[in-house]
Amino acid sequence: MVETKIRLFVDHPLAEGQTVPLDRDQSHYLFGVMRQGEGAMIALFNGRDGEFAAEVTRAHKKAGELTCRVKTRDLQMPPDLWLLFAPIKKARTDFIVEKAAEMGAAKICPVQTEFTNSERIRQDRLQAHALEAAEQCGGTYVPEVTGLEKLDRVLADWDAERQIMFCDEALVGAAQTLSAVKGGKWAILIGPEGGFSEAERKRLHALDFAHAVSLGPRILRADTAAVAALTLWQEHLGDWS
């Protein structure tokens, strides 16, 4: 097995013998920061073709080049799971996106609720965090981070075949389980720091495809709740079991 210590996402087709050009930032990272040289082996993935061990065949700080030598892993798709969450403070929103990518969310969707305290996001920056998380955790797929949308609009256009695990802080301490439901298309919905409004909670409880759950006997911070909910779903319905 070819040993590689650095993983890199590239937006380029991958196959044995395929030459992969690097952009300026990637070249600077590999050759300026990580001090790699010709002959070094780098793990490459593109979210489509799996992972390949690639050899550095041109080490230039502005325009390097790699050549794929051998396929090391097939593409591993995550479960069909979306994470919907209300953005919070910058660093904690970054944390949610990173952990969602690491824990197997296929799509990450910021939503604006009535009590959301952030009215805008940097979608490109959050997408970059998801990409970096996939590089670090060994994933071969990078989840899409969508633009910020209002929750009521998202629910109005919702595909009823995709069930929602609705994390309701009003149920704190209640005995809730996912054992009675089955897999398939799912989404997890996490509320803002101020919780859901009564109107939002009432609407969600009325939806046949929404399943209200408690995340234990204590009210969790939004970023902690995201990790707890992803863990709960993965354990019962995802690819951990």
Question: Which CATH superfamily, name and number, covers 7-73?
Answer: Hypothetical PUA domain-like; domain 1 (2.40.240.20)
pLDDT at 61: 85
Burial class (CB in 10 A: 0-12, 13-18, 19+), 27: buried
Outline where DSSP puts E strands in 47-145.
51-58, 65-73, 81-85, 107-112, 144-145
Q: How far is CA 136 from CA 5, 43, 90, 133, in A?
A: 10, 11, 21, 5
Q: What confidence score (pLDDT) does residue 11 get?
A: 95
99: Cβ contacts below 8 Å, ≥ 6 apart = 133, 223, 226, 227, 230
Q: In the 8-state DSSP scheme, what is residue 170?
A: G
Three-state DSSP class for residue 67: strand
Q: Do domains 7-73 and 81-237 have the same CATH topology?
A: no
pLDDT at site 4: 85
Give the predicted TM-score (pTM) of the model: 0.91
115: helix, coil or strand?
coil
In this prediction, residue 183 carries a pLDDT of: 73
For the stretch 200-203, contacts whose Cβ atoms lie closer than 8 Å and that sit 24 or more positions apart, written own/partner, are 200/113, 200/114, 200/151, 200/152, 201/168, 201/170, 203/152, 203/155
Task: Show me where the domains of the chain are located.
Answer: 7-73, 81-237
What whole-number distance in Å separates Cα of residue 53 and Cα of residue 58?
15
Tokens (6 digits) for 14: 């991958």
Predicted pLDDT at 225: 95
Tens digits of per-residue pLDDT, 60-106?
888 899 999 999 999 999 999 999 999 998 899 999 999 999 999 99
Domain 81-237: which topology?
Alpha/beta knot (3.40.1280)
pLDDT of residue 190: 96
Which stretches in the chain have pLDDT values below 50? none
| The predicted structure's pLDDT at residue 14 | 98
